[in-house]
Amino acid sequence: MRVELLEVMGSDLTVVNAARVSFAAESHEFSGRDKKLIKYLAKHNHWTPFGHVQLQFRLKAPVFVARQLVKHQVGLVWNEVSRRYVDLRPEFHEPEGWRLKANNKKQGSSLETFSGLLGERWDARYWDLMNSAETLYQNMVASGVAPEQARMVLPQSMMTEWYWTGSLAAFARVVKQRISSDAQLECQLMAQKIDQLVANTDEISYSWACLTEQE
């Protein structure tokens, strides 16, 4: 799985000035006073000033992860590789172990994984299924079946890629929900990647820290 931060439009100062315009005021250099304002805005859920900073990512993940993340719609737009037009060889997610079912129904899996011969057995059966699906797909396309129908045989573990663009506020909501311990582990990992990239972007790091309650 992969996350790339492609573009950032705006900065902490953008957030400050979007808020100060209500009083016909403007800051030209980011100061301690501005930090206090950003912290206040985040603490009291004044989201609109953070909407003036935009982020664009390119992500790669299995379909079953992408379909959970795409549920986040407010303040975000999404454009994805389409198997209706693309018939390249599919790539499949490689699980790092098979997690046991959780006792709590609200938690999809535990952190404990199958080990030894049983884990190897599930690995072998998984890749047998992936290879069979790929072979069937390629044979269908080669015989003239339209890719938009042939794609129906491809599993949810197939990798997909998409552009994801939206406001700083919107991505902060995504991260806070999906980085939580009760989110699916693969979604947590994607949220962690987003978080690390934005947190290390100097021009918006303070706003991000306040929105995600890391400072």
Q: Is 65 within 8 Å of 186 (Cβ atoms)? A: yes
**d(C-alpha 183, C-alpha 179), whole Å:** 7
Torsion angle of the four alpha carbons 112, 175, 55, 211, in this order, in degrees rounded to the nearest 10:
-150
| Closest-CA residue to 195 (of 169, 160, 163, 171) | 171
Under 8 Å between Cβ of 26 and 18: no
* Helices of type H across the chain: 12-20, 32-43, 63-69, 116-142, 147-150, 168-178, 185-199, 205-211
Task: Look up residue 12 and give its two tokens.
Answer: 């902490």
For the chain, how are helix, strand and coil distributed in percent, rounded to 5?
Answer: 50, 20, 30
- For residue 210 the two structure tokens come to 């306040």
- Residues forming the active site: 178
